Amino acid sequence: MSFLEQKDFIEENDTVILYLSPSSMHAINVREMMKNKKGELIEYIFQTSFGALKVKSLIGVRYGNKVELSRGHAYALQPTPELWTNTLPHRTQIIYTPDISMILFQLDVKPGNIVIESGTGSGSLSHHFLRGVKPNGHLFTFDFHEARVEQAKVEFTNHGVSNFVTVTHRDVIKDGFTEELNGKADAIFLDLPAPDKAVSHAFKALKSSGGRFCSFSPCIEQTQKVCEELQKHGFTEIQSMEILQSEEIVKMRSVQIMDLDFVRTKKILTTCDIELNDNKKHSKEVQKIITSSAPQILPGHTGYLTFGTLSPIFAR
Amino acid sequence: MLENPPKIKIGDFIILQRQKYMKLHKFGNIESSAALGKDQLELRNIEGHPYCSTFKMIPKETRGRQRITALELCSDKDMQDIRDIMNNAESGADNRNIKDDGGSQKLGNEEILKLREDIGDSKKIIGTLVENSTSFQSKTVYSQEKYLKRKEKKYFEYVQIRQPSIRMLAEIFYRQDPDKIMGLRIDSLSQIISYSDVNAFGKFLLFESGTNGLLPAAFLNAIGSGTKGKLVHMHPGNVPQKQAIQALNLPQEQLDRCVSVNIYSVLREFYQGKEEEKANVEEETEESAAKRPKLEEGENNTDEKSKSDEKVKPDEKSQKWKLENKKACDLMKEKFDSLIVVSRDHPLNIVKELLQFIKPGRPVIVFNLSKELLMEMYVELKMLSTVTNLHLTSNWMRYYQILPNRTHPEVQMSGNSGYILRGTSIN
């Protein structure tokens, strides 16, 4: 229930992000008992690389506080959509925060908006949309995969945001966004294998006072088709872009500085050994410096984002 | 149900859009006019029309280099696509017969100028230009289109009035002068909004030293109207820069949930209580006025109303100032759900000072154009262990030209997104 609004203390049924390190985070559903493989109820013990955690012990703990594990400690964080994106169970490829941020920004999403999303996928973007439209807006999200739809419904209920979202099992390319949504949406987001085929549905679903459109597509061919369709339907401000985030690895380094000056002068043979030793000491001066470098491997491509504006009906 | 967009009212901030060029303007009174390129647009005719209406620019008289231009609501016929001309034109296969000798346009400069004054209709002008161009027919379809686009741009005589949104404001400000909004490119701005977890419910603490109000406006926009979210906006200046906030034409109830305070004076009140307020004001004024004369100048231009208020009723103004400090202090005691620092000064001391007002386990976001300052902070915060899960990131963003058979990245791209240091506060 911890996605609705910021709160101070952990309660039962909250989702908690157990933070061990930047590369080790776990989303835990807080409850006392769990079912084992045989279906028997047993105490919920969560295993981490720093040892075990009795999940029950989280109840009543202040969010952000340290919790002891059997071989170390972790922090119990309240999930934000960003943390959730990094810990959620993947059912599909997901969209990450840099693209998501741009999508919400470009779609002008704000509280009170009606947003349509297709497909739901693993619900990574959905949680961001929900944060954006709460408490007086609504997200309508569609997926053609029935099991994913059911899982998403359970997740939204567990997260306490089910009042703000409607998940529908539907092939929107074939069947559109349902009659009820005609002229209802402020913004529409498509992440579909053939997004161009859903542009006409998007056109119908946007408000008569206009709205914004976005399609995410890993391939340029789809992007081209989407742009053509958008133009045909009279969308304006059609713009495609790509965005990549790169992380800087910051380190405090001690760098040795080599001295090459001593080679210029001749040494007296008899004291050679002593001097060499001396030189070693002198030449290995050490400088402490903060460095940053890009990681060896980083995302080189996520997808092309295509945006468009649909003008109010009188100006189309 | 037909939902009509809101109507243009006097007092609104409006965006004038001529093709891709956008300009923010305050529609202060019926006589108000806006400069757009060489044109001085009289805005009297736009009042009462819905946003997104398009108007035709009708030249009235020329004063020196400036044209005084009236606006007239476009008819459907006006809205027709300029590329109709394309249908009549045959196209060559390549550019082998095109010489760059400046002689392909038979009309001289003066003749074209006269044409503009006589006809005034961009479509007809371009038609005449095409007729008199010896090379147009031998161009390929692509370059014909390019030619028309170029001419279309030059002689385009329509302007659309739009309602400002954060997206458009960020674009306008960044294009005008990135430095005035501290280099906040839209991708970085969008990520600051995401990572700070700003929403309709929480309380947020923002320090910024001058972004024309763009950052507080973006936060206020994400907090929404009719919600319970609150923003304390700290700034080092005399008066907060609020242009972007005003431009969003938000309801008063929403504006009231943004408390703008001078960082020195609010912290002094927090530590020392409310004594000697008067003395504080003067001291702050000197301190900050000396520090950022430039910013204040910008403020003078954009915020005339509040300035004159200040002059007329100094008592009321300082009263408001006291109330805002009190409100901010109360919120500081309750603590915030995230901290965002976008400063011209070194951000380290600001973050160290303001961290005490942030609940544990909440986002801490620092933006700066220089990586080095944030690297230093990264190491320092790690040592202090007040912020964990530290990440220093930058972005790479590029736009694409997407056209059938001519898709490629735009030839120019912005090279500096700035850097975001983000982390999670811990006890």
> Looking at the structure, do residues A140 and A193 belong to the same domain, yes or no?
yes
pLDDT of residue B359: 96
Question: What gap in Å lies between CA B324 and CA B319, rounded to an integer?
Answer: 9
B190 → closest Cβ in A8, A101, A208: A101
| Rounded (10°) angle between helices A124-133 and A97-106 | 40
**Are A133 and A163 within 8 A, CB to CB?**
no
The range of the structural domain enclosing residue A137 comes to 85-244+299-315
Average confidence (pLDDT) over A181-200 = 96
Quick check: is A270 in a domain?
yes
Question: What gap in Å lies between CA A198 and CA A227, rounded to an integer?
Answer: 12
Question: What gap in Å lies between CA A7 and CA A61, rounded to an integer?
Answer: 11
Say whether A312 and B201 touch across the interface (CB within 8 A). Answer: no
Give SS3 for A208. coil
- For B1-15, b/e burial (b = at least 16 CB within 10 A) is eeeebeebeeebbbb
- For A94-120, b/e burial (b = at least 16 CB within 10 A) is bbebbbbbbbbbbbbbbbbbbbbbbbb
Quick check: is A4 in a domain?
no
Q: Which residues in chain B have Cβ-Cβ distances shorter than 8 Å to A240?
A: 399-400, 402
**Which residue, chain included where needed, has tokens 């008899």?**
A270
Say whether B397 and A243 touch across the interface (CB within 8 A). Answer: yes
Quick check: is A9 in a domain?
no
Give SS3 for A153. helix
CA dihedral (B346, B347, B348, B351) positive or negative: positive
Q: Which residues in chain A have Cβ-Cβ distances shorter than 8 Å to B197?
A: 6, 80-82, 131
pLDDT of residue B301: 43
CA dihedral (A33, A35, A41, A47) positive or negative: negative
Residue-wise pLDDT tens digits, B165-197: 999 999 999 999 999 999 999 999 999 999 999
**Are B46 and A310 within 8 A, CB to CB?**
no
> Looking at the structure, do residues A180 and A94 belong to the same domain, yes or no?
yes
> Looking at the structure, do residues A103 and A222 belong to the same domain, yes or no?
yes
Q: Which helix (H) or strand (E) holds A19?
A: strand A15-21
> Looking at the structure, do residues A215 and A280 belong to the same domain, yes or no?
no
The ranges of chain B with pLDDT < 70 are 1-4, 76-104, 112-113, 115-123, 152-156, 274-318
Task: Point out the domain boundary residue: A23, A54, A79.
Answer: A79
pLDDT of residue B319: 79
> Looking at the structure, do residues A40 and A152 belong to the same domain, yes or no?
no
Question: What gap in Å lies between CA B421 and CA B272, rounded to an integer?
Answer: 32
- For B283-312, b/e burial (b = at least 16 CB within 10 A) is ebeeebeebbeebbebbeebbeeebeebee
Q: Which residues in chain B have Cβ-Cβ distances shorter than 8 Å to A134?
A: 199-201
> Looking at the structure, do residues A52 and A149 belong to the same domain, yes or no?
no
Other beta carbons within 10 Å of A158: 16
Say whether B51 and A63 touch across the interface (CB within 8 A). Answer: no
> Looking at the structure, do residues A289 and A220 belong to the same domain, yes or no?
no
> Looking at the structure, do residues A173 and A309 belong to the same domain, yes or no?
yes
> Looking at the structure, do residues A91 and A33 belong to the same domain, yes or no?
no
Quick check: is A1 in a domain?
no
**Which residue, chain included where needed, has tokens 């090279």?**
B415
pLDDT of residue A153: 96
Looking at the complex, does the CB of residue A9 fall below 8 Å from at least one CB of chain B?
A: no
> Looking at the structure, do residues A111 and A140 belong to the same domain, yes or no?
yes
> Looking at the structure, do residues A112 and A208 belong to the same domain, yes or no?
yes
Say whether A135 and B227 touch across the interface (CB within 8 A). Answer: yes
* CATH at A170: 3.40.50.150
What ipTM goes with this model? 0.93
A6 → closest Cβ in B160, B337, B400: B337
Task: Point out the domain boundary residue: A79, A114, A132.
Answer: A79
End-to-end Cα spacing for chain A: 43
A138 or B2, which is more confident: A138
Q: Average pLDDT of chain A?
A: 92
Q: Where would I find the beta strands (DSSP E) of B309-386? A: 338-342, 363-368
A65 → closest Cβ in B191, B193, B427: B427
Say whether B394 and A246 touch across the interface (CB within 8 A). Answer: yes
**Are A70 and A81 within 8 A, CB to CB?**
no
Q: Name the minimum distance, in Å, from the CA of A255 to any CA of chain B.
A: 17
Quick check: is A123 in a domain?
yes
pTM of the model: 0.87
> Looking at the structure, do residues A217 and A264 belong to the same domain, yes or no?
no
Number of domains in chain A: 3
- Mode of pairing for the β-strands spanning B258-262 and B230-235: parallel
Q: How is residue A204 written in tokens?
A: 């119908």
Question: What gap in Å lies between CA A133 and CA A131, rounded to an integer?
Answer: 6
User: What domains lie within chain B, and their CATH numbers?
Assistant: 13-76 (no CATH), 82-157 (no CATH), 166-425 (3.40.50.150)
Amino acid in the structure at residue A192: L
Looking at the complex, does the CB of residue A16 fall below 8 Å from at least one CB of chain B?
A: no
pLDDT of residue A73: 93
Say whether B194 and A106 touch across the interface (CB within 8 A). Answer: no
Residue A250 has pLDDT above 70, yes or no: yes
* CATH at A67: 3.10.330.20
Other beta carbons within 10 Å of A70: 12
Quick check: is A127 in a domain?
yes
Average confidence (pLDDT) over A111-132 = 96
pLDDT of residue B139: 75
Quick check: is A6 in a domain?
no
Quick check: is A138 in a domain?
yes
- Cα angle B32, B37, B41; round to 5: 25
Long-range contacts of range A10-13, CB-CB < 8 Å, 24 or more positions apart? A10/A58, A10/A59, A10/A60, A10/A61, A10/A62, A10/A63, A10/A76, A11/A59, A11/A60, A12/A59, A13/A158
